[in-house]
A and B are shown apart, each in its own frame.
Chain A
Amino acid sequence: MSTKPVLQISNATFEVNGSQGESRTLWSNLSLEVQPHEFIAVIGSNGSGKTSLLKAILGQEPISSGTIKINAKPIHRGNGKVGYIPQHRVIDGATPLRARDLIRFGLDGQRFGFGLPSVLNRKKVDRVLASVDAEAFAKKTIGQLSGGELQRLRVGQAVIGEPDLILADEPLSALDLHQQKTIADLLDRERREHNAAVLFVTHDVNPILDYVDRVLYLANGKFKIGTPDEVLTSEVLTELYGTPVDVLRNQGRIVVVGTHEHDHHPDEEWN
């Protein structure tokens, strides 16, 4: 690949401090180059450091060694070229924030000043509302929306600033299968239109399997990077976890057995 990488992680190590002052290494010597357009799934068990990786790239948490660069420049907090999609959370119904204003925050919410309404910005928000199919509920408050509707807005909020890199932290959790599909499709389409790379943290690769170019699998302080076919095999995961792990493929779905994790999302049975 001859294009310039959007994200370069070189020999990065992330440590967390425990309650007794001892430090625990979540991952070490992690190196990864992400090209524009690439869709990368970050998979791993709870506590394997997936979210920490995103926080490190966002500049919210320091890495203990190594470097992270975005567009060949060292990372800093509030990089306008990075979009962020959080996990779905239930929002208090009384929160006085309308759908379109949530998207507007993605445009310039971090800037000081009043942010007086302008025609240009309103048109931008309108365009994004249309692209994530959210016009129907643009004036509703976000507490009134369904999980799928809210996450559609989150995609819009992340892409309105035309980022080069989109970081998504389990954006599909707590959604039903149909909604997961809608959000994944939407994110894939948006990243193609905006020419953005995606780092997608998830513990179930299936909803995004069609779009994933490479997988970064984190487990036990170790990691493996490669295409889904290279990484999601019984041999590779057995080596990563150090205990026997079976990877089953059935009708295009991948099920990992033996990691002592929920094979399905815990919320799935509620949907």
Chain B
Amino acid sequence: MGSIFNFSDYDQLIPLITNSLIAGGLLALVGGLIGIFVMNRDMSFAVHGISELSFAGAAFALLAGFNVVLGSVVGSILAALVIGVLGAKAKERNSIVAVLMPAGLGLGILALALYEGRAANKFGLLTGQIIAVDDPQLAGLATICLIVLVTLGVVWRPLSFASLDPEVAAARGVPTRALSIVFMLILGLAVAASVQVVGALLVLSLLVTPAAASLRVTSSQVLAPILSVSFALISVLGGILLALGAGLPISPYVTTISFLIYVICRVIERVKR
């Protein structure tokens, strides 16, 4: 019976997980930033829906012998577009997500049941497999993250305007409709990348929890994304380093750290009032 914290042999293990640390850092950056918009646009539940479809796409790719990341991206983007086009209003969106989510999860489970390869691959899609990030995988992830980050950089200000003050933004000529489609596309990419690492079930801990925590303690347009990224980085990198010693999956460490940060932020918010 191993312990959940174990730091012997640590110096030999670190070089083995350089790729995982880089991947985790990139995902934290993406998740922390895009999470601010997920919160501002009230899309937390949609993120969960997209991640289940992303899982289904990945599972089918695994079954068919295609690239798993590609399958995951396709599933994710399809879901994001359906939710974006059909669910412009929050109420409709929630029901569409609630319909899509079990459908995706069911299909994914079917694909995994039919798959006869390594069992670890199956489990990893749901709960994460960051320890085993090889170079081509890392290159794929980095590309996706780069696309998301560059796009976010370009649309940041009008997207904030459209998310927080939609009526005036539209009156001032912000292309709100086009921006929401662009946002759904990059959200789909961010989810697909996160699924590879933390797994479909735990994507929210990366794309929602850090941003939700930061918005409890600040409403500043500058400080909120900085805090959110910091929280995501602490959760992911801390999670990987803690999990390493114990040889357990990293996701419980990541989710627990990110949850604790959220709780602390709520306490700080309460004390400040």
Contact = CB atoms under 8 A, between A and B. Distances in A.
Interface residues of B, number: 27
Interface stretch (A12-20, A96-104, A197-205, A220-228): A96-104
B171 A114 contact: no
B103 interface: no
Interface in B210-240: 215, 218-222, 224
Contacts, number: 83
Contact of B169 (A79, A89, A109): A109
B43 interface: no
Nearest to B220: A98
Range, interface on chain A:
20 to 34
Contact of A97 (B164, B171, B222): B164
Given A112-B157, A117-B222, A96 B39 contact: yes
Contacts of B157: 108-115
A98 B156 CA distance: 17
B115 interface: no
A46 interface: no
Given A86-B168, A112-B155, 18 more contacts: A78-B172, A84-B172, A86-B171, A96-B39, A96-B219, A104-B221, A105-B169, A109-B157, A109-B160, A110-B158, A110-B169, A110-B172, A112-B157, A114-B153, A114-B156, A114-B157, A117-B222, A141-B219
Interface of A: 58-60, 76-79, 84, 86, 89, 94-98, 101-102, 104-106, 108-115, 117, 141, 154, 157, 167
15 contacts: A59-B173, A60-B171, A77-B173, A84-B171, A97-B164, A104-B221, A105-B168, A108-B157, A109-B169, A109-B174, A110-B173, A110-B174, A112-B157, A113-B154, A167-B171
